[in-house]
Every structure is written in structure tokens, then in C-alpha cells.
Structure 1
Amino acid sequence: MTYRLTRLSLHTRLPLALMAATLAAPLYAADYPSQNIDYIVPFDAGGAVDFTGRLIAEAAPDVFDGHQFIVKNMPGGGAVIGQTYVSKAPADGYTLLAMTSSVINNALTKEVSYDLDSFTPLALYNLDPGVVVTAADSELTDLQSFLDAASNGDVSIATPGNSTSHHITAVSLAQQNDLGFRYVHNASAAMQLQQLMGGHVQAGFMSLGEAVGPAEDGSIRILAVMDSQRSDLAPDVPTWQELTGEEVQWGTFRGIAAPADLPEDVKVALEERLGQLLTSPAFIERMNEAGYQVNYRDGDAFREYLDSTADKMEQVLPTLDTAS
């Protein structure tokens, strides 16, 4: 009898529970989006992540039924503040993160409350390959002279900071090729350029997008691009692989992610709409005009890229303290 009463009680309460859950739950794909979307940029305004995020925001209403992407800058802690905010936000599709390699670096090198599994990758839209650069008047005029110098002694290298993706790139290449680097860490690409042009360092590792302008005005020289193919932004610059035969692909990326546990129907809706936006001729033209290439990958391909990048960084991290 007790068993039958329990069953009856459950049947009686079940419709009420379902009704309550339905009323409390957000409306998903059929009604998505029904409001504006917060786009969290975990850096100050004015940088590449912020700038490209605002290009995305300009185009968003066309594919999000008139709803806007509200760009919100949340800098601090090397992007930790903004990344933490998104990792703890409701997984409803209305809070998105401007995702960069700093998510991986921070999770591996700092005490943070999140890791890659705290996010749902949705789209990668820009791959900015790393480059090796020297001052325009440097005696290191090509990659071979740079490698020869580093093989015979310490070459001073400007980076945008300890444990940044460019620092990790340099450490990885030094390990693989038995090169001697002495690192001078800066706080930005602008400071790297000052170090180079002032003759304070011999070379630097930075992003192609950051180097193209100074190279075009004759301030620096780009020795090699660390990608599988030459870039349209610098078609005359060879790849590291062309010159050495070694397959090298390092760089920074810019993508979009949501909190983990995003409902599948919302994830599908977001991926489809972002795919339309990021591959549209108008968006690609705006990006190209600003000096950025669009390298679109969907959520699954973005996840594969993230995992591969994290594996590379984990292999290098144990040596960062001694190589800093």
C-alpha cells in the first residue's frame, strides 16, 4: 500500500513539477534569440580582440533577428576576470566570450576556477600566425642568420610577456632546434617594437597582424611566418617550414565561446548564425580592410584546435621557469 501511495503521489505532483520547470526555464532555439547578447571582451578597449569583436557586433543584428551584441570590456588579471565571469554565467546563449589563447595559458599557469571544459566553443574566426622579426637595420637579415646566431650564443628576444603564447612559441622552437634565447618580457606588442627599434633586443616573436604595419613602413623586418602557408597579408615572407623543412604552426587565435553545458538546440542555433555572420562577404571585407584575415572554423573544429594548442603548451610549460 505504501508503494502504491508513493506512486500515486508522484503521478499527482509530476505535472505540477513539469509546469514549474517549464515556466522557470529560458526559451530555447524556437525563440532564440529573444533579447540582446552580452559579448564579453576580457581586455581593454582598443586592442585586436576588442576591435574585431566590435566588427562582429556591427554585423550581428543582420543574423540575430535584429538583436544586438553588447560588447562589454572586462579587463584584469590577464583576462582572468572576464573569462571567470563567462564561465559562471547562465548557459542560455545570452553571454558569450571573446576567446583567445589566454584561456589556455591562464588555466595552465594560474590559480583560476575554470579550464577549457568550462566553455562551449562556437566559432573560430581569426588565426593570426606568429612571426620572427628583427629591426630593419639588424645584422640578422634572414631566418638563417637568425638561426646561426642563436645556435652559437644567446640571442635577445622581445616577447609580450612571460607565459604568453609568443613566449611559449619561442621556448618550444628553442627546445626543438637547440637555440639560445635570452628573453626580455614586455607588456605589449607596442613595447616589443620599441625594444626592437631602439636596439635593446635583437629579435622578437609577435603576431603577423601586429608586425605588418611596422614592416610596411620600414621599421622592422619579418623573417618568417609560423604557419602552414604564406599569408596574403605578407605574401613575400616565407614560412618557417619553407626555409627549414620543419613543420611549424604557432600563433594567436580569436574565437567565440559560451559557458559550458549550453543546451544543444541553442548551441546549434548559435553556431549556424555565427557561421553566417563570420563567412559573410561584408564581414570578411571589413576584417580585411582592418588587416585581419578570416579563418572560420565551426565549434567542433575550434574544439580540436583548442585541444591541440593546449597539448603543445602543456609540453612547454615545465620549462618556462628556467627559460624565462
Structure 2
Amino acid sequence: MKRKLLSLILVLTMVLTVSTACSQKSEAPETKAETEKTQTEEPKATDGYPNKPITVYVGFSAGGSSDVMVRILASAMEKYIGQPVVVVNKTGAGGWVAWEELVKTVKPDGYTFALINTPNITLGAYDPVNPRNYTIDDFDLLANQVTDYNVIAIRKDETRYTDLASLIEYAKTNTLLSASSSTGIMSDDATVVEYFNMNYDTDFQVVQTAGAKDNETMFISGNTDILVANIADVLPAYKNGDYKIITIFAPEKSELLPDVPTVSELGFGDAYMFSARGYALPKGVDPEIKTKLMDAIRSAINDPEVINKLNELGAQTNYLEGQEYYDFLKSNIDISKKIYNIK
């Protein structure tokens, strides 16, 4: 009897064991699926962008035309991007302090972009004195905002010269100083006087500064002989009669300076010089983030209030993006290389 009872218990134990194992096998896939279903996915970098302030670098001194333009844009951008847009001035080397930091150290997360200016950024690699290691191909180009032509101004009580022709003649036998945010092909301001040095045997010397506002300060204080600047830099003083603008480096007269003749009209060649001001990111920003930032920049640049404010300052909006913007910058390289006879 005992033996039969033991055998029965053994059989029952084996049945229960097999049944439990089968039950575990059948339940396992279902449990795994439920677990995967309830797992929280890793948040994407684009989720919630932007959720903190955005920074824009300006490589020139506060108060200059580039700085003022960016601050107007930044203020307008905030309503389109939904976050504060903070302007940070990183001056030096004609903008290259800011641009090299953008390329080398800025995290490509869409929270930092920079103002870029021609010809400083387009011709940095061709500078014979201090060639830069980067070209426009090392940046992720966003959009151009304005194209601002160069002018030459003299003091209203100047007696050594009164117009461009007499200025050129005087500079052939006398050294004259002109301030610039950088030297040589690194700056549109410096390129203006280098154009005359190379083609008319003049002796203009460039004094390097941190930006347009410093250039004007040196000129007003008498530390430089002439002022080479962009229209936006001089328009308020022009309207007030603070100094005399003698020529503009544009293909035609400007509506903002209707009585100022072009260099070509005065017989000194077809010389067009300007500072085109736009924006760029470091390479590697997520395309979805770039699109969101680009949408805000586009909306801000083309905001009627922004356009009107810049017009009042003498900066005319010339919006370009994508391939059109890239081709525009490449054309600036070709024009400047021709002036400097760079092969």
C-alpha cells in the first residue's frame, strides 16, 4: 500500500513540474511584450527645442553697425523661437575670434550661431600675413540679412583734400591713416584703401581696431585721417552733417546717400566693396533643430518692423538662403581675389 502511495505522489509531482514549466514558457513572451510596451523611449535631442536661451556671437565691438543689426534681429527672433536670444560680443582678428570658436569649440546643438561678415570670413584663408584655417565650407550657412556698401568720409573742416581726386593725389606723397577692424583682404574697410594703394600708388596705412564704432571714434578724435565705413555706420552722421562723405563703392548711387558719387562715376574704376552680413551654425547640428532655428531667423529678417528699423540705419535687407546664399559668398571671393590679383 505504501509503495503504491509513494508511486502516486511521485507521478503527481512530475505532472505538476511539467505543467509549471509549460505555463512559464507560454507566459514568458506575453510578459516580455508587455514590458517593452511600457518602457519609456529615450528623448530625442530635438524634443522640446529650444528649451533654453539661444546665443548669437558678434565678432565686433558693441555699438557698431553689425552689433546693432544683430540686436534688432535678436529682439525680433524671440517671438518666433520662444526663447531669449542673447548677443555676445567676441571681438578680435576681424571677427575670427568668434568664428574660430564657433568651428572649434561650440557644441553643435543649435543653441549657438554667429554673425558672419564678408570679406573677412570669405577671404580669411587667402590672407598672406595670417591665413586662416577655415573657409565658408567649414560652416553651416543659414542666411544673408543685409548687403552694406562702403563709403569714404572726410572731416567737414578738412583742407588737405576736399574730394576723392584730391585725396588720392595727396595720398601719393603723404602717409594717411585709416582705421579698420582688420587689415588687408581680411576687411572690406581695409580693402578699400588697399585698392588705391595697389592701383594708384597711394600710401594709406591701416590702424587695426575692434570694430566700426572704434573706427569712427578714432576718426572723430583726429587719430586717423579718413573714415572708411559702411553706409549703416555713417548715415546718422551724414544726416546731421557731422562729416562729409565723398564717394561710395557701389555699382550705382544709393537712395540713402543721393548726392554721393560712386567711385566709378569719379573715374577710379568699377570698384564695388561691401560688407554682407549673415548667419552661420557650426557643422553637425541636427537637421530638425536647424530647420526650427532657420524658420525663426527667416521670419525675423523678413519682419517688416526689422526691415524698417534697418532702413532707418542705412542697412538695406538683402535676404538670401541656401544655394543662393552660398553662390553669393563665392562671388564675393572671386571679386576680391581679382582686386588683390590672387591666383
* TM-score in terms of structure 2 length: 0.71
Distance 1:149 1:47, change over 3 A: closer
Match of 1:143 in 2: 164
Aligned to 1:55, which of 72, 87, 100? 72
| Kept in 1: contact 2:110–2:285 (CA 8 A) | yes
The C-alpha deviation readout for 1:34-81, integer Å capped at 9, x for no partner, is: 5542212233433333322221111112222x2332223333454333
Match of 2:140 in 1: 120
Q: 1:92 to 1:299 in 2, by over 3 A?
A: farther
> C-alpha displacement at 1:189, in angstroms?
4.6
Partner SS for 2:266: helix
Distance 1:49 1:198, change over 3 A: closer
* Cα distance in 1, alignment partners of residues 123 and 318 from structure 2: 22
Q: Give yes or no for the alignment of 1:27 onto 2:50.
A: no
| Match of residue 282 from structure 1 | 305
* Partner of residue 99, structure 1: 116
In structure 1, what is the Cα distance between the partners aligned to 2:216 and 2:73? 28
**One-letter code of the match for 1:130?**
N
Other-structure match for 2:245: 222
Percent identity reads 24
In the TM superposition, residue 127 of structure 1 has moved relative to its aligned partner by 2.0
| Structure 1 residues 235 and 263: CA distance shift in structure 2, 3 A | farther
Letter in 1 for 2:84: Q
Tell which deviates more after alignment, 84-93 or 125-134: 84-93
Match of 2:88 in 1: 72
TM-superposition CA deviations, 1:147-175 (whole Å, max 9, x none): 4545x645624132433321122213443
* Higher CA-based Rg: 2
Counterpart position of 1:43: 60
DSSP 3-state at the match of 1:242 = coil
Q: CA 1:35–1:203 in 2, change beyond 3 Å: closer, same or farther?
A: closer
Give the conservation status (yes or no) of the 8 Å contact 1:136–1:221.
Answer: yes
Q: 1:75 corresponds to which letter in structure 2?
A: T
**Structure 2 CA distance, aligned partners of 1:113 and 1:68?**
32
Q: Which residue number in structure 1 is paired with residue 179 of structure 2? A: 159
Secondary structure of the residue aligned to 2:70 is helix
Report the secondary structure of 1:241's partner residue: coil
- Shift, 1:225, TM fit: 0.9
Contact 1:197 1:219 (C-alpha < 8 Å) held by counterparts: no
Describe the superposition over 1:287-320 as per-residue Cα deviations: whole angstroms up to 9, x where unpaired: 234443322222433322322333444556689x
Mind listing any 5+ residue stretches in structure 2 that lack a counterpart? 1-40
Q: Partners of 1:264 and 1:169 in 2: how far apart?
A: 39
Structure 2 distance, partners of 1:76, 1:245, is: 32
Asked whether the 8 Å contact 1:40–1:98 carries over to 2, the reply is: yes
RMSD: 3.3
Q: Is the 8 A contact 1:157 1:205 kept in 2?
A: no
Q: Is the Cα–Cα contact under 8 Å of residues 155 and 203 in structure 1 kept in the other structure? A: no
Structure 1 residue ranges without an equivalent (≥5): 1-21, 320-324
1:181 aligns with 2:200: no
Give the counterpart letter for 1:133 in structure 2.
A
Equivalent of 1:208 in 231, 244, 267? 231
Counting matched residue pairs gives: 293
SS of the residue 1:137 aligns to: coil
Q: Partner of 1:114: helix, strand, or coil?
A: coil
Contact kept in structure 2, 1:120 and 1:258, CA below 8 Å: yes
Contact 1:133/1:221 (<8 A) preserved: yes
CA distance change for structure 1 residues 201 and 121 in 2, over 3 Å: closer, same or farther? same
Distance in 1, matches of 2:307 and 2:162, equals 33
Residues 128-149 of structure 1 show CA distances to partners (whole Å, capped at 9, x for unaligned) of 2111222213343233333454
Question: What displacement does 1:286 show?
Answer: 2.4
Q: 1:278 to 1:214 in 2, by over 3 A?
A: same
For each residue in 1:211-232, what CA deviation from the matched residue of structure 2 results, as whole angstroms up to 9, or x when unmatched?
Answer: 2333333332111111123223
From the superposition, tell whether residues 174 and 255 of structure 1 become closer, same or farther in structure 2 (CA, over 3 Å).
same
C-alpha contact (below 8 Å) 1:241/1:248 kept by paired residues: yes
Indicate the SS of the match to 2:318: coil
TM-superposition CA deviations, 1:209-263 (whole Å, max 9, x none): 2223333333321111111232233222122233338332212232111112445
SS at structure 2 position matched to 1:158: strand
Secondary structure at the counterpart of residue 117 of structure 1: helix
Match of 1:85, SS?
Answer: helix
Residue identity matched to 1:27? T
Q: Distance in 2 between matches of 1:231 and 1:58?
A: 28
